[in-house]
Chain A
């Protein structure tokens, strides 16, 4: 159950359960939506790195943990579905019985300093910082959320959370940690969780869309046959600005996501063989978080999956030419044209494909079955991103935050994440077969933007 101790630098000495400070009212059940069920194959993992242990005041680790646990217990009062346990309801669908059982918390020690780790640890070692478990067949005593507190030699700290993607997406989990940090600082919670989607099922949309991206997605789980590698590129604000100025003429409103997605898509496609499908088109699966994109859309506080998947296709020649501005423009247009109705149409499609007795279809491999790109732009504003607002101590931002998805397919995943530098700076985390990663890290255009490479293993 715990990480195999090969020659890992991470030692996990103990495991316990943290419960909420007030008991949950009994009998509450949280049902998952159709989209939650569709995401059930994947897992999510986030690691927040802090330079200084935010709660160490010269006291021992034991007391630190207790200090963090007090604020965590208070936080968990707001999240009854997080402390509950998964089970299948009468209709065969997954639901959470809010039985107050708590979340697992692990304490780990890392035999490295923070800087050493961020420079030289590889993806496999970073995996040890969180718990990687798939949903078991019988999850009634399995904790869907696991929090791991990793103590570094130099006094740094990494707070890691892992969860089933059926339960939450990156934004919800980020807001959970941010709310925990706010409670720890004794400040009011900015985005208290909401567990029910506004029930706006656009009936006409359901009939309009006879197929959805789900119908084209693989529902057979393909565990990649090659070893997957990971690379993390940190781009500074100056370089992104430079990049944006280059595409400014054709696409004046381009966001950093548009530019970076376009860049990496074109570069990665070149490394693949075959580079495109039969009718000479290359596709990118786009994953957008739909929160608050429109005035009355899903609120930030919604705890669950609010992701929309869509496909963008271009001709192979256009992609492989170096017309970055053009590709970025296509991406921008595509992202801009996504409306909430499409999200609800997808949901309606899933609802209409229920089995006898009301059970939702089995989950899909949405990440990596095709090259997928995930955007978190809607959580980044001029005042900063949610991710880097998770400060356990006043003004002590995390120095880095890593996002991982579990069970990614062999085609790969591009995550465009916020950067501690804020503003236009971004961090791009790419998961690809190992040999493609090596080649990608040598690409001249990317290197021309002078990214700093993090977590790339010993050189």
Chain B
């Protein structure tokens, strides 16, 4: 409960007052309309039918006026319908499930670490502490090239991983939706750290023999929030091209980016990043409306790159030995919090019900005019969304967002369990989380989902989806064989 309310905020009576207030403000139009309609109906009843007919005749309509008015109405209606943005539907999506031979238990990871970094025991201990508190489970997967002692990944290994992950996800999607390769009009692939020539999107076009006039894009270097950036790009393209299918592939290829040095700040990604990928089919075709799972409502992108600290927060560089890795700065959480605030400020007015917005407005006025010491009102986003998918960047990110947005454990369950089962799969983690919610049978028609992702730069991007049809569990997918074991309790510190 927000701090501005008096101390008896836990009292039941106040809860009903708040409910009443919300109901009133959110349905204000209905409440205003009801007395007006009542008045009109009473007036009509009083006048009687003959009176009504007399009033009608006295209006003196002639043909020209009638025609003109009707054309005006038709014209306004047409302009309205034409200027409405095309609805973008998410037909279906598929997440990659890595093979069991790629599994990396904690003990194996630590053993390899000790064998490879035998000259830096402090770095090994640091990795162990990170792993203990990471929130990962024993079933996360690393690509085959990283299982070697020492790992010696070649470009061929990286391409092999890309092919395995991307083709498996696309094959699964095609099987689910019946999509033919020749039907794909737009292709967007995002993979932040591996960008070969020819691009990964060219690799997909080559494998599936896609059309020669396909609009293909390959986004690299954009971090973990690139998934939402790809969705945004697809949406914009679908406004320009009518009747199209857009295939979006989000993945992160771990093989070439395994840090081989011993700088602590750069060892963190080794502990958290794991293999994963997702393929998503979007469309603006009207006939997909019946079978689409979701409709895209909003995409909000916030970039804090103008601030130097935010820009350098996640920075790829060489360590003193010349080994390349990603350096995570210590004020990552603070910057993430600020980026989130920025994003919320933009998305709030779009999604929050009128009651929350009014409260926020009143508190804002109150702080400016009456008493600056009033705590700012944090809008209750649980009223705007039924489900939350917070990018599983790490336990700290999920904890921070849970605190800031005042979410319950059930709201962040999808994020925590995805982190436990699959690790941080970067841009595709949002899709694993969404899949978890569906696999648990919690996705009902009309539910609104909020996907939030952070990325290097520093960016905070959100997407809002509305569920189009109730999704029945059980279903095929990466959670198929383990959903019954979840949710699990994840201890603060796992003893290794």
A interface with B by C-beta (< 8 Å): 14-19, 21-23, 66, 69-70, 73, 85, 99-102, 141
Contacts and interface: CB of A to CB of B under 8 A. Distances in A.
A73 B111 CA distance: 18
Contact of B100 (A14, A70, A99, A102): A70
B107 A16 contact: no
Interface SS of B by simple majority:
helix
B148 interface: yes
A100 B138 contact: yes
Given A23-B138, A23-B139, A66-B144, A18 B107 contact: no
A17 B100 contact: no
A53 B103 CA distance: 26
B448 to A, nearest CB: 36
Interface in B79-100: 99-100
Interface string B124-149: 00000000000001110000100111
B489 to A, nearest CB: 13
B103 A21 contact: yes
Contacts of B303: none
Given A17-B108, A17-B147, A100-B108, A69 B115 contact: no
B114 A19 contact: no
Given A16-B149, A17-B108, A141 B99 contact: no
Contacts of B139: 23
B103 A19 contact: yes
A102 B101 CA distance: 11
B105 interface: yes
B416 to A, nearest CB: 18
Contacts of B108: 17, 19, 100-102
Contacts of B144: 66
Given A14-B148, A15-B149, A17-B147, A73 B107 contact: no
28 contacts: A14-B148, A16-B148, A16-B149, A17-B108, A17-B147, A17-B149, A18-B101, A19-B104, A19-B105, A19-B108, A22-B100, A23-B139, A66-B99, A66-B144, A70-B99, A70-B100, A70-B101, A73-B103, A85-B107, A99-B105, A99-B107, A100-B106, A100-B107, A101-B105, A101-B108, A102-B107, A102-B108, A141-B115
Interface in B52-66: none
B101 A21 contact: yes
B111 A141 contact: yes
Interface centre among B99, B103, B107, B137, by most A CB within 10 Å?
A: B107
B103 A17 contact: no
B442 interface: no
B112 interface: yes
A140 to B, nearest CB: 8
A40 B255 CA distance: 40
A21 B100 contact: yes
B254 to A, nearest CB: 16
A69 B138 contact: no
B105 A66 contact: no
A66 B99 CA distance: 10
B424 to A, nearest CB: 19
Contacts of B138: 23, 100
A17 B111 CA distance: 10
Given A15-B148, A22-B100, 14 more contacts: A14-B148, A16-B149, A19-B105, A23-B137, A66-B101, A70-B100, A73-B103, A85-B107, A100-B105, A100-B107, A102-B105, A102-B108, A141-B114, A141-B115
A21 B106 CA distance: 14
Contacts, number: 54
Nearest to B113: A141
Q: Which of A19, A23, A100 has the most CB of B within 10 A?
A: A19
Contacts of A15: 148-149
A83 to B, nearest CB: 9
A445 to B, nearest CB: 50
Contacts of A69: 101
Nearest to B115: A141
B111 A101 contact: yes
A141 B99 CA distance: 25
A346 B133 CA distance: 48
Determine which residue in A17, A66, A73, A101 has the highest number of CB atoms from chain B within 10 A of its CB, and name it.
Answer: A17
Nearest to A102: B108
B273 to A, nearest CB: 19
B258 to A, nearest CB: 14
Interface in B396-436: none
B496 to A, nearest CB: 8
Contacts of B114: 141
A102 B139 CA distance: 13
Contacts of A23: 103, 105, 137-139
Contacts of A22: 100
Nearest to B138: A23
A454 to B, nearest CB: 33
Nearest to A23: B138
Nearest to A104: B149
A26 B338 CA distance: 40
Nearest to A99: B107
A22 B147 CA distance: 17
A18 B104 CA distance: 9
Nearest to A100: B105
A102 to B, nearest CB: 5
A100 B144 CA distance: 18
Nearest to A18: B101
Contacts of A14: 148
A16 B148 CA distance: 4
Contacts of B148: 14-16
B3 to A, nearest CB: 42
Q: Looking at B101, B108, B147, B149, which has the most chain A CB atoms within 10 Å of its CB?
A: B101
A17 B108 CA distance: 8
Q: From B108, B112, B114, name the one whose CB has the most chain A CB atoms within 10 angstroms.
A: B108
B53 to A, nearest CB: 82
B101 A73 contact: yes
A19 B138 CA distance: 11
Nearest to B146: A16
Nearest to A14: B148
A109 B152 CA distance: 18
A73 B100 contact: yes
A30 to B, nearest CB: 15
A141 B114 CA distance: 8
Contacts of A99: 105, 107
A21 B103 CA distance: 7
B148 to A, nearest CB: 5
A100 B100 CA distance: 14
A276 B485 CA distance: 66
Nearest to B112: A17
A74 B314 CA distance: 39
B239 to A, nearest CB: 44
Considering the complex of A and B, which 5 residue pairs feature the smallest CB-CB distances, nearest first? A21-B100, A101-B107, A23-B138, A99-B107, A100-B105
